[in-house]
Amino acid sequence: MSVLARSVGNAFRNKVRTAAVVAVLAVAIGLALAMLVANQAVGAKVQELNASVGTVLTVNPAGGQGFEGGGEPLTTEQATAAAAVPNVSAVVGTSSLRLRNATEAAAQAAAGQTGQGGPGGQGGQGGPGGQAAATLTTSLTAAVDAGTLGNRNQQSNGTTGSGSTTQPMRSLPITATGIGAEVDSTGKALTIAEGAGLGDYTAESTNALLGTTLAEKNNLSIGSTFTINDQAYTVAGLFDAGTSFGNNAVYVTLPTAQALAGTPTELSSMIVTVNSLENVDSTKAALQDALGTDKADVTQGQNLETAVSSLGSVKNISFIAFVAALATAGLIILLIMVMLVRERRREIGVLKAIGAPNRTIGLQFVLEALVLAALGSAAGAVIAAFASSGIASALISTNSTSTTPAATAGRGMPGGVPGGGAGFPGGGQGGNPFGGASQLLTSVTASASPEVIAAGVAAVFGVAIIGALVPALLTARIRPIEVLRGE
């Protein structure tokens, strides 16, 4: 009988014990493979973020951000100056507006509630980038309910009026952002769920992109129309920002938003893309010098840095867990093979007595360990295929929660970048440690690809060989004469 056939037969000599060993190995190997899959998925996501938005800088007016703060607005001339800075590959200007439902605004005006300085530039306040802006009305109804937090914030800002003790609550405003290219407020390409983009983003247009939840709330689809300041706009496409709050927004071309605001040469912010991750720091400094510290604030986006840092922690944790589970599988194999060698001392002595070399006897035990490892890997791969996504989500959720105190410092306040998921008061995003970057974490998808599973199984086989070598070497110490004399 060949060594391989003998090894396979020995692996199933005690079927109950074999089943128990395979079950234990399946759990350990399945956990190891799931952690490896999660590690690879998170690593791929980190690379994706660094490649897509890791090189993006945001420029806001000095002393202002979003709809809060003071200072002077940015201009198209500054955008030209930013584009001339070395290592800058693209500059996209934005112009942000707030829209109020026309019916609600009319009712509030009739009740004498205007001029309170509320969101959306009521009374000429709170314009984009610290600019003064007239009230813009729309036929759209906000897709996000104000709720307790929204009403509380609007009351504290005086947006519900003060003429009587009982005042109707306002709904949340809708963010309208003019963009010079098909990107969101983080510099990442917009995800168009239906329809098409806006075409030429450097020209005025009556086409618009609506968030999926906003379109659903207003029963709009591709080709439908709505109004802003009594001007009809056609829904050219629907985008998905990843959150209900982010989807309560409208995108139009930059000149369109500037025309609506009456500020044709002004910008709310600029999204600057650097040509490589290595040049980000130097370009940030050069950009700040070119624009002036008293004119513009250049930031790299703390939300993104927090998200990437959290993903890096998850990657490290998953790798440590993979190594630990792999070591556990190796320890199980080691203990099982030591027990088998002790049980088969008489058999080993007989084989040696009839001339079997130590190498052949040791190989028999190594192959038997590999058979057990193969069975455990097959069952473990099935476990990993079903558990990897859940484990990755649990790791990300746990790590995100643990970073909340530090990450939320100063967040949830007015002045976030419009359209980024955490902007004006009442958005309900104050408890989110990552603000507008939260979708960067939740969009991590762990899939058990054949390549990753194959790499994990190869690692398991390597550990199995190491775990079986020690017991195999013990066979060399068994002397036939001592074993046979004991019989």
Q: How far is CA 466 from CA 61, 331, 361, 460, 463, in A?
A: 62, 10, 16, 10, 5
> Is residue 342 domain-shared with residue 463, that is, in the same domain?
yes
At residue 408, the pLDDT reads: 38
Can you give the pLDDT at residue 219? 94
For 400, the 3-state DSSP assignment is helix
Q: Rounded distance, CA 242 to CA 314, Å?
A: 21
Q: Tokens in use for 108?
A: 């509030």
Identify any residues that bridge with 482 across adjacent strands, giving them in sequence order. Answer: none
For residues 274 and 55, the answer to whether their CB atoms sit within 8 Å is yes
Q: Length of the chain, please?
A: 487
Q: What is the pLDDT of residue 257?
A: 93
Q: Please give the Cα distance from 35 to 39 (Å, whole number).
A: 6
**CA-CA distance, 134 to 115, in Å (whole number)?**
11
| Mean pLDDT confidence for 37-56 | 72
Same domain? 112 vs 238: yes
* Four-point Cα dihedral 314, 315, 318, 324, nearest 10: -130
Task: Give yes or no: residues 231 and 183 share one domain.
Answer: yes
Task: Name which of 362, 337, 334 is nearest 348 in CA terms.
Answer: 362
Cβ atoms of residues 123 and 108 within 8 Å: no
Residue 251 sits in the same domain as residue 105: yes
| Higher local confidence (pLDDT), 425 or 230 | 230
Q: Which residue reads 């139009």 in tokens?
A: 252
| Structure confidence at residue 226 (pLDDT) | 95
Name the CA dihedral angle for 113, 117, 119, 124, rounded to a multiple of 10 degrees.
110
pLDDT (average), residues 321-331:
89
**Does residue 119 sit in the same domain as residue 153?**
yes
pLDDT in tens, 285-295: 999 999 998 99
Q: What is the DSSP letter of 440?
A: H
More confident residue, 94 or 402: 94
Q: Which residue has the tokens 């507006």?
A: 97
pLDDT attached to residue 221: 94
How open is the CA angle 430-402-438, to the nearest 5 degrees? 45
Q: Any idea which of 112-116, 132-136, 234-238 has the lowest mean pLDDT?
A: 112-116
Q: Are residues 233 and 318 in the same domain?
A: no
Q: Which amino acid is at 279?
A: N
Read off the pLDDT of residues 162-216 as tens digits, 9 standing for 90 and up. 444 444 556 678 888 999 888 876 677 888 999 999 989 989 999 999 999 999 9
Q: Which two tokens mark 50?
A: 């660094």
Residue 159 lies inside a defined structural domain of this protein: yes
Considering 251, 279, 299, which residue would you say is the last residue of a domain? 299
Number of structural domains (the chain) is 2
pLDDT digits (tens, 9 = 90+) for 379-397: 888 888 887 777 767 766 6
Residues 401 and 454 in one domain: yes
Is the pLDDT at 421 greater than 60? The verdict is no
**Residues 436, 416: contact at Cβ < 8 Å?**
yes
CA distances from 162 to 165, 210, 270, 348, 373 (A): 7, 34, 37, 95, 74
456 Cβ neighbours under 8 A, 6+ residues apart: 29, 32, 33, 36, 37, 322, 384
Residue 304 lies in a domain: no
Q: For residue 349, what are the contacts with CB-CB under 8 A and spacing of at least 6?
A: 478, 479, 480, 482, 483, 484
- Strands of 220-341, DSSP E: 225-228, 231-239, 249-253, 266-267, 269-274, 296-299
pLDDT at 138: 93
| Sequence-separated (6 or more) residues with CB below 8 Å from residue 109 | none
**Spatial contact of 308 and 46, defined as CB atoms under 8 Å apart:** yes
pLDDT tens digits, residue range 278-317?
A: 788 899 999 999 999 899 999 875 555 666 676 777 788 8
Count other C-beta atoms under 10 Å from residue 78's C-beta.
22
Is 465 within a domain?
yes
Among residues 92, 93, 86, which one has the least CA distance to residue 287? 86
Q: Which domain covers residue 314, as residue numbers?
A: 3-50+309-486
Instruction: Report residue 30: phi and psi, to 5°.
Output: -60, -45
Mark whether 255 and 221 lie in a shared domain.
yes
Residues 110, 33 share a domain: no
Q: What's the CA gap between 336 and 359, in Å, rounded?
A: 20
Pair 195, 277 in one domain: yes
Examine the domain organization and report whether 241 and 211 are in the same domain: yes
Judge residue 278's burial from the number of C-beta atoms within 10 Å of its C-beta, 0-12 exposed, 13-18 middle, 19 or more buried.
exposed
Residue with token string 């930013």: 82
Residue type, 353: A
Q: What is the pTM of this model?
A: 0.57
Choice between 167 and 40, residue whose per-residue pLDDT is larger: 40
pLDDT of residue 436: 39
Among residues 269, 299, 329, which one ends one of the domains?
299
